[in-house]
Amino acid sequence: MWVKKIILVIVMFVVVSACLYLATLHWIAPAATPTAEPTSVRSMAPDFTLTSLSGDTISMKDLRGKVVLLNFWATWCGPCRMEIPGLVQLQSRYGARGLRVIGMDEISEDNANAVRRFYREFQLNYPVVLASDSVGNLYGGITGTPTSILIGRDGRIYAEYVGLVNEQVFARAIRNLLAEGPNG
């Protein structure tokens, strides 16, 4: 009888180990290794107009002259939760120099109350909008969260990051774009 229990424990251990391996392979590892895709032809960032949680109007045309980091995320997304404290730090550090982080919550997944609770819990210091899929589609479609799009002062897209990105990776790219003039 105890032999059957030992075999059952071993089988359960193997199954759990295999599940953890697959989760790491397909969820954690891709989130930890972002794909930064600098665009060779720097296209203009599509315009949109949305209302932030605080009631302010956010539009790309009004952000011209600023370096903008659009961050598409969701409250339930683990890698998003890991990335957001770094975005808060970046906004604190570079906001006075012209950085604007804009949180783009995927409204199809969250409701406004969940986003407001998340906003307070993480003490976000940048505006958050409830973005529809149509906004993501303007930017080529959001294939996963988090996805961040870095836009220069000239209104052109300079990079897209899919997955969890280290704050230092963002900081380096942001510093370069802040150093450039409004015409790139």
At residue 3, the pLDDT reads 79
Taken in order 52, 181, 165, 35, the sign of the CA dihedral is positive
At residue 66, the pLDDT reads 97
pTM of the model: 0.77
Q: What is the 3-state secondary structure (H, E, C) of 11-46?
A: HHHHHHHHHHHHHHHHHHHHHHCCEECCCCCCCECC
The two three-digit tokens of residue 99, written as one number: 């950085």
CB atoms within 10 A of CB 117: 12
Instruction: Give the DSSP H or E segment for 159.
Output: strand 157-162
Per residue of the chain (184 residues), give pLDDT as tens.
787 888 877 877 677 665 555 555 445 544 444 554 444 457 999 999 998 988 999 999 999 999 999 999 988 899 999 999 999 999 999 999 999 999 998 765 557 888 899 999 999 999 999 887 778 888 888 888 899 999 999 999 999 999 999 999 999 999 999 998 655 5
